[in-house]
Chains A and B, each alone.
Chain A
Amino acid sequence: MNDFDLIKHLRSEVGESEPDALNGARERLLTVMARTPEPRRFRLPVKLRLAGVVAVAAAAAVVIATSPAAPVKPPATGDALPPVSAQNILLVAAASAERTPLGSGAYWHVRKEKDDGGLFTESWTTRDGQRWMRPVPGRDRSVVGKAPSARFWLAPGQGELSIQDIEALPTDPEALKQRVTEMIPTAVDHHDPAFFPLLSLIAELPAPAKVRSAAFRALATVPDVQRVGTVEGGEELMVPDGDQEIRLVVDPETSRVVRANRLPTVGGGVAGANGEHFFKLTTGWTDDFPGVTERGKS
């Protein structure tokens, strides 16, 4: 074996990186991406833009000329929502959120699992402002460690709150929408500025029943939320977002977000599943806490 081959084999026992080892970095990247405002749209030179307008006008003229007999139906006013629209699903979820108290316990527990049931991330936060989490970067995945901060966030890196702040949020949908918009200086991506905060409130934040309900109602007024269809565990909704749309499954009966491919997290990040995958989300108050793992043991 020559010098080069010896170097090549040095540390070759380092295994292929497991997908789990990448989750932390992916979350941080998605967070940065979500915080970055959309670049300004590419603008065509004036001359080309004018040429485009002319072309569109010409096309319209052709359409008018060739289909004189097709009267355009004016949109009906006061149309009822289609039986199963995204808005309807959100309103049904709002109603069940209102009558479903969050339960009790000493820890606000947020657990995300992979499709196969393996742990993705997990955190426990107490009312007096302490948080533990796992996995801890660079440690065995079963290790529970203290998180540096126990604050909650409405959107990636914006809108920092305590549990008490969350509980004091407005319970009227319009007022809530306005308040969270004020708390977020920069809209995430090109979304309605209220979108990410409302998503946080229905997904990972410990919002009381009336605030959650208001968040669902407010979300029903945000354009772009579309229904994909009925899936296992609930209704799948989708929000187009460039080439990485947000998909989430809401159970209208329990009002919980049960699965998603991307979500703002309690800690001000964005969690994203690999490729086309979803992760499973469980949230709630609990007294069940595995305890901190001592350094060096696991």
Chain B
Amino acid sequence: MLFDRHAAVLHRYAVRRLGPEHAEDVLAEAFTRAFETRHRYESARAEALPWLYGIITNVIGLHRRAEARAYRAMARTGEDPVTAAFDEGVAARVSASATRQRLAAALAKLGRGERDVLLLIAWGDLTYEETARALRVPIGTVRSRLSRARRKVAHALGGVNPVEMSEDHRERL
């Protein structure tokens, strides 16, 4: 069953965006929608995961106020309500709180489409093409949204020039 193959990965993605309390509802809603529109997927014969990421992205979108509220809380206090239940040791090692606060502030301010693209690629591990398929937008839109999002994040971090980063390090087709 599709659920058993992909639910764990999609659940973790939902937890990262919205926190553990919403994740179960979001996952259930996403798979229900997937079941109801399964004919569309079967006829396309594409890999299922990007399609499912697209559906769960739409469901997460219903909670975007709650999502932004959590980023803003993290930006303000340095405490991330989403990861309160998890071991923070890893994150603390990865980046100082000040950096995380800036990242969170940037995420809170991104447009919905920019955030969806950035996080599908960064957290969902999708390629540009899979992201385009998930969101049903042209691949050029994925590229432009991603570079806009990264420019905003880099700006929030204090003017690191994003151009020095290779734009296509996520492309593995």
A-B pairs with lowest CB-CB distance, top 7 = A138-B21, A25-B28, A17-B11, A28-B28, A25-B27, A9-B94, A13-B90
Say whether A14 contacts B24, CB under 8 Å: no
Q: Which residues of B contact A275 (CB under 8 A)?
A: 1, 4
Q: Is B157 an interface residue (CB 8 A)?
A: yes
Q: Is B48 an interface residue (CB 8 A)?
A: no
A4-B150, A244-B1 known; A25 vs B35 contact (CB < 8 Å): no
* Bound CA–CA A286/B169 (angstroms): 60
A3-B153, A17-B11, A138-B20 known; A11 vs B82 contact (CB < 8 Å): yes
Closest to B160 in A: A3
Segment 1-60 of A: residues with Cβ below 8 Å from B: 1-4, 6-17, 19, 21-22, 24-26, 28-29, 32-33, 36
Q: Is A221 an interface residue (CB 8 A)?
A: no
Partner of B87, one of A13, A24, A33: A13
Say whether A24 contacts B99, CB under 8 Å: no
Segment 45-89 of B: residues with Cβ below 8 Å from A: 80, 82-83, 86-89
Say whether A17 contacts B1, CB under 8 Å: no
- By CB atoms of chain A within 10 A, which of B21, B24, B91, B162 has the most? B24
Q: Is A293 an interface residue (CB 8 A)?
A: no
Shortest A235–chain B CB gap in Å is 26
Closest to A9 in B: B94
Chain B positions 8 through 27: 1 when the CB is less than 8 Å from some CB of chain A, otherwise 0? 11011001100111111101
B interface, over-half SS: helix
Count of B interface residues, CB-CB < 8 Å: 52
Q: Is B139 an interface residue (CB 8 A)?
A: no
Q: Is A274 an interface residue (CB 8 A)?
A: yes
Q: Is B100 an interface residue (CB 8 A)?
A: yes
- 28 A/B residue pairs, CB under 8 Å, sorted by A: A3-B154, A3-B157, A6-B153, A7-B119, A7-B123, A8-B123, A10-B100, A11-B80, A13-B83, A13-B87, A13-B90, A14-B86, A15-B87, A16-B12, A17-B23, A21-B11, A22-B8, A22-B11, A24-B24, A24-B28, A25-B24, A29-B32, A32-B35, A33-B35, A36-B36, A138-B20, A138-B24, A275-B4
Q: Which residues of B contact A33 (CB under 8 A)?
A: 35
Binding site for A on B (CB under 8 A): 1, 3-4, 7-9, 11-12, 15-16, 19-25, 27-28, 31-32, 35-36, 80, 82-83, 86-91, 94-95, 99-100, 103-104, 107, 118-119, 122-123, 150, 153-154, 157, 160, 162, 164-165, 169
Shortest A267–chain B CB gap in Å is 14
Shortest B136–chain A CB gap in Å is 23
Say whether B160 contacts A11, CB under 8 Å: no
Q: Which residues of A contact B28 (CB under 8 A)?
A: 24-25, 28-29
Closest to B167 in A: A4
Shortest B57–chain A CB gap in Å is 16
